[in-house]
C-alpha cells in the first residue's frame, strides 16, 4: 500500500522548535540502580518497543582469530554468546549494536578440563553443561551451587559462563563465585592472551577489564586440594530472579582443622561484586566455630554497599548478607570437613 493514499500523514501538531523536554529526563526517571535485574527493562520500555530488536549486521566467525579480526574492524560490534542478557536488552532497544559477532560457531570455546592445578572452562560453556558435569558436582560445589541458581533451566541451556562474567551485571551470580575461587580470567586479543584475576576483572556495572577488541576465552579455577569446600547461598524472590543478595564462599582447611584459605564474595549488594577481604582475613588461621563465623559475617555485612530497591531496604540487605554469609560458611566448612 502506498502511504500517500492515506488521509492523515501530515504532522498533526506543529513541531516545537525549542529544545524538547528531555525524553529520559529526571522527571519520569527513577535513579538508575540495580541494573541487570530491574531498571534496564523498565527504563527502555518507556522509550521504545519491547520484543522487537533493532536491525544489525550479523557475523558468525568459526575461529577466535576471525572473531578478533571482526571486532578489530568494527568498533560498534558486540559479541553474542548465549544471548540471554544481550537479546533481552536489544529487544528493549537498550542495546543497539551495529553488528553482532556470534561466538556460537566457534567449536573450541566450550569445554571443561582439569589439569596442572586448574579447572579450565571455555568461555562458551553453557550453564547447563556446568550443571551436568560430574567433575563440577563432586569437586567444585561452589560452582555447582551457583550454576544451579542462575536464571532458570531453559535460560541455562543457552547462557554461557563467559557471557555471565563479561556482561558484568552486578546482579549476575558467577562474578562473586569467581572472586571467591581466586579464579583467573583469560582474555584473548590481537596480541594474544593475558590473564586477569577475577578480583580485578569487574570495573563497574557492565564494565570489565576487557578491551573492546578482546574476547573472554577461558576461566581458570584453582583446583581445590584436600580439605576444601565451598558454597553459594542466594536469596531470590522466585526461580529466575536475580539475587536480592548472595554470598559465595570457598575455604580450605589445614590438617589441624583451622581455616587455611578463605574466599568470600558478595553478589548484588554493590555496583560490582564485592570481595569481603576483612572477613576473609578474620577467618584465616582460625578454627571455624560458630562465633568466629558470625564475626566474619559481620565484617562481610560491613563490606556490602547495598541500596534500597524493590528487593528490600539497604538495612535488610545488609542483614541478609550477614545471615547468608554465616549459612554459606557453615555449608562450605561442612563440605571441607566432609571431603
Partner 1 sequence: MAAVAIQGLGHPRKRVEDARFIRGKGNYIDDMKLPGMLQVDIVRSPYAHAKIKAIRTDKALAVPGVLAVITGETLKQYNVHNMPTLMSDTQMVLPLDTVKYQFQEVAAVLGTDRYTAADGVAAVEVDYEPLPVVVDPFKALEPGAPKVRDDKESNHIWHWEWGDRAAADKAFDAAEVTVKENIYIPRIHVASIETCGCVAQWNATEGHLTLYMTTQAPHAIRTVVALITGHLGLSEEKIRIVSPDIGGGFGGKVPAYPGYVIAVALSIVTGAPVKWIEDRTENMAADSFGRDYHISAELAGKKDGTLTALRFKTIADHGYTDAAANPSKMPAGLFHIATGSYDFKNAFVEVDGVYTNKPPGGIAYRCSFRVTEAVHTIERMADLMAHEVGLDPADFRMKNFIKPEQFPYKSALGWEYDSGNYAGALQKAMDMVGYKELRKEQAEKRKRGEFMGIGISSFTEIVGAGPSKDFDILGLKMFDSCEIRVHPTGKAIARFGTKSQGQGHETTYAQILAEELGIPADHIKIEEGDTDTAPYGLGTYASRSTPTAGAAAAMAARKVRAKAKKIAAHLLEAAEEDLQWEQGKFFVKGSPDRAKTIQEIAFAAYTNHPQGMEAGLEAVSYYDPPNLTFPFGSYICVVDIDRGTGEVKVRRFVAVDDCGVRINPMIVEGQIHGGLAMGFAPALMEEISYDENGNIHGSNFTDYLLPTAVETPKWETGETVTPSPHHPIGAKGVGESATVGAPAAIANAVVDALWHLGVRHVDIPITPPKVWALLKEHGAALEE
Partner 2 sequence: MSTHHIQVKVNGAVKAAEVESRLLLVHFLRESLNLTGTHIGCDTTSCGACTVLWNGRAVKSCTLFAVQADGAELRTVEGLAQDGKLHPIQVGFHEKHGLQCGFCTPGMMMASVALLEANPKPTEDEIRWGLSGNLCRCTGYVNIVKAVQQAAEQMQG
Ligand X SMILES: Cc1cc2nc3c(=O)[nH]c(=O)nc-3n(C[C@H](O)[C@H](O)[C@H](O)COP(=O)(O)OP(=O)(O)OC[C@H]3O[C@@H](n4cnc5c(N)ncnc54)[C@H](O)[C@@H]3O)c2cc1C
By CB under 8 A, residue 134 contacts partner 2: no
Stretch that binds partner 1, among 100-108, 190-198, 211-219, 311-319 (CB under 8 A): 311-319
Choice between 36 and 141, CB closer to ligand X: 36
By CB under 8 A, residue 76 contacts partner 2: no
- Of these, 39, 129, 145, 173, which contacts ligand X (CB under 6 A)? 173
DSSP string across 206-249: TEES--TT-EEEEEEEEPP-TTEEEEEEEE-SSTTPPPSEEEEE
Whether the CB-CB separation of 100 and 83 falls below 8 Å is answered with no
**C-alpha to C-alpha distance for 315 and 244, rounded to whole angstroms:** 12
Distances (CA, A) of 179 to 145, 266, 277: 15, 9, 11
Question: Phi first, then psi: what are they for 248, rounded to 5°?
Answer: -105, 130
The interface mask with ligand X, positions 179-218, x = CB under 6 A, is -------------------------------x----xx--
Q: How far is the CB of 41 from partner 1 (least distance, A)?
A: 6
Q: Which long-range contacts (CB under 8 A, 24 or more apart) does 37-40 make?
A: 37/169, 37/171, 37/241, 37/242, 37/268, 37/311, 38/309, 38/310, 40/89, 40/92, 40/94
Q: Which of 175, 168, 186 is nearest to 275 (CA)?
A: 175
Name which of ligand X, partner 2, partner 1, none residue 21 binds, using a CB cut-off of 5 to 8 Å depending on partner kind: partner 1
By CB under 8 A, residue 240 contacts partner 2: yes
Stretch that binds ligand X, among 11-19, 55-63, 80-88, 282-290 (CB under 6 A): 80-88
**Which residues of this protein are in contact with partner 1, per CB under 8 A?**
1, 3, 6-9, 11-16, 20-21, 23-25, 27-30, 37-38, 41-42, 45-52, 54-55, 93, 152, 235, 237-241, 244, 294, 297, 310-313, 315-316, 319-320, 322-324, 326-327
**Which residues of this protein are in contact with partner 2, per CB under 8 A?**
41, 45, 50-58, 60, 80, 83-84, 87-88, 90-92, 100, 102, 104, 128, 132, 151-155, 157-158, 239-240
Amino acid at each position: 500500500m502506498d502511504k500517500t493514499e492515506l488521509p492523515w500523514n501530515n504532522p498533526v501538531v506543529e513541531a516545537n522548535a525549542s529544545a524538547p523536554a528531555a525524553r529520559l529526563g529526571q522527571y519520569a526517571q527513577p535513579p538508575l540502580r540495580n541494573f541487570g535485574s530491574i531498571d534496564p527493562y523498565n527504563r527502555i520500555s518507556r522509550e521504545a518497543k519491547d520484543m522487537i530488536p533493532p536491525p544489525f549486521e550479523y557475523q558468525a566467525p568459526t575461529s577466535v582469530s576471525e572473531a578478533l579480526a571482526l571486532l578489530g574492524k568494527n568498533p560498534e560490534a558486540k559479541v553474542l554468546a548465549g544471548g540471554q542478557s544481550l537479546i533481552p536488552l536489544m529487544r528493549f532497544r537498550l542495546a543497539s549494536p551495529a553488528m553482532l559477532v556470534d561466538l556460537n560457531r566457534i567449536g573450541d570455546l566450550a569445554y571443561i578440563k582439569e589439569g596442572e592445578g586448574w579447572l579450565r572452562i571455555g568461555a562458551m560453556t553453557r550453564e547447563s553443561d556446568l550443571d551436568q558435569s560430574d567433575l563440577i558436582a563432586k569437586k567444585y560445589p561452589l560452582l555447582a551451587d551457583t550454576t544451579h541458581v542462575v536464571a532458570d533451566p531453559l535460560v541455562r541451556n543457552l547462557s554461557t559462563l563467559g557471557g555471565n562474567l563479561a556482561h558484568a551485571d552486578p546482579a549476575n551470580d558467577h562474578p562473586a563465585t569467581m572472586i571467591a575461587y581466586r579464579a583467573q580470567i583469560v582474555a584473548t586479543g590481537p596480541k594474544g592472551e593475558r590473564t586477569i584475576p577475577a578480583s580485578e576483572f569487574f570495573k563497574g556495572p557492565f564494565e570489565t577489564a576487557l578491551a573492546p577488541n578482546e574476547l573472554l576465552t577461558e576461566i581458570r579455577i584453582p583446583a581445590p586440594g584436600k580439605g576444601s569446600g565451598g558454597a553459594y547461598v542466594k536469596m531470590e524472590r522466585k526461580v529466575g530472579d536475580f539475587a536480592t543478595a548472595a554470598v559465595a564462599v570457598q575455604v580450605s582447611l589445614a590438617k589441624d582443622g583451622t581455616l587455611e584459605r578463605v574466599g568470600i564474595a558478595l553478589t548484588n549488594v554493590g555496583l560490582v561484586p564485592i570481595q569481603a577481604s576483612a572477613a576473609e582475613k578474620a577467618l584465616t588461621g582460625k578454627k571455624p566455630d560458630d562465633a568466629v563465623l558470625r564475626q566474619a559475617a559481620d565484617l562481610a555485612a560491613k563490606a556490602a554497599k547495598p541500596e534500597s530497591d524493590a528487593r528490600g531496604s539497604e538495612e535488610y540487605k545488609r542483614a541478609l548478607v550477614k545471615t547468608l554469609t554465616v549459612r554459606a560458611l557453615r555449608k562450605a566448612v561442612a563440605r571441607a570437613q566432609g571431603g
